[in-house]
Amino acid sequence: MGKCVILCAGEIGGDILPLEQDDLLIAADGGYTHTEQLGLTPHIVLGDFDSLGYVPEGAQVHPKEKDDTDAMLAVKLGLSKGYKEFYIYGGMDGPRVDHTMANFQLLHYLSEHGAKGYLIGVHQIATVITGNLEFPPEQTGTVSVFCLGQEALVDIEGLKYSLKDGLLQPSFPLGVSNQFIGEKGKITVKKGTVLVIWEK
């Protein structure tokens, strides 16, 4: 099965990953504008359309007063169709930090449901892991690791600051602003769940 690509209303900073035949493209509310700008036809358009301001033809309309964000509606739909790999654009660089935080939780939701999710911003990418995450030697810039939940036991290898059985806690940002150093980087979560954010 291919990947599920979700376009939200925030900035996307250019093109998205090339779409293959088995991929599912979902426009969540204002994300529909991006599909028009990119010349793409989404398979599904959904949301309450408070951001877009109008309802596209054939869209799935949801009430404004609901528990799920439009992005979460898209994620749940993708999961229901069997997708296990999600790429979410326009969900990190919008004007509201609360929606960015909601999308970090969305990544956590995907992880808990056996799927991989990547929140792709203009300058950074974020994901949530409970196992391993590797980076190639050519990766540059910074990478940060944050604990989600009570605490996380983590190994960090091949980066400027290494950890062996390092204890990350939600009340202290020990894992912020690590750096790639031209080696193969690896983050291993032995216990718990972490949010990883790195430069594109």
The 10s digit of each residue's pLDDT in 126-166 is 999 999 999 999 999 999 999 998 899 999 999 999 999 99
Confidence at residue 65, expressed as pLDDT on a 0 to 100 scale: 84
Confidence at residue 73, expressed as pLDDT on a 0 to 100 scale: 96
Confidence at residue 14, expressed as pLDDT on a 0 to 100 scale: 85
Write the DSSP assignment of the chain as a string of letters: ---EEEE-SS---S--PPPPTT-EEEEETTHHHHHHHHT---SEEEE--TTTSS--TT-EE--SS-SS-HHHHHHHHHHHTT--EEEEESSSSSS-HHHHHHHHHHHHHHHHTT-EEEEE-SSEEEEEESSEEEE-TT--SEEEEEEEEEEEEEEEESBSS-EEEEEEBTTB-TTTTEEB-SS-EEEEEEEEEEEEEEE-
The average pLDDT across 7-16 equals 91
Confidence at residue 34, expressed as pLDDT on a 0 to 100 scale: 95
The average pLDDT across 35-41 equals 94
The average pLDDT across 24-50 equals 94
Rounded Cα distance, 57 and 89, in Å: 22
Summarised one tens digit per residue, pLDDT across range 175-196 is 999 999 999 999 999 999 999 9
Residue 195 bridge partners (DSSP) = 128, 146
Contact between 120 and 189 (Cβ < 8 Å): no
Name the token pair of 125.
Answer: 């990418």
Number of other CB atoms surrounding residue 170 within 10 Å: 13
Confidence at residue 51, expressed as pLDDT on a 0 to 100 scale: 84
Summarised one tens digit per residue, pLDDT across range 73-125 is 999 999 999 999 999 999 998 788 898 999 999 999 999 999 999 999 999 99
Contact between 90 and 31 (Cβ < 8 Å): yes
Confidence at residue 53, expressed as pLDDT on a 0 to 100 scale: 87
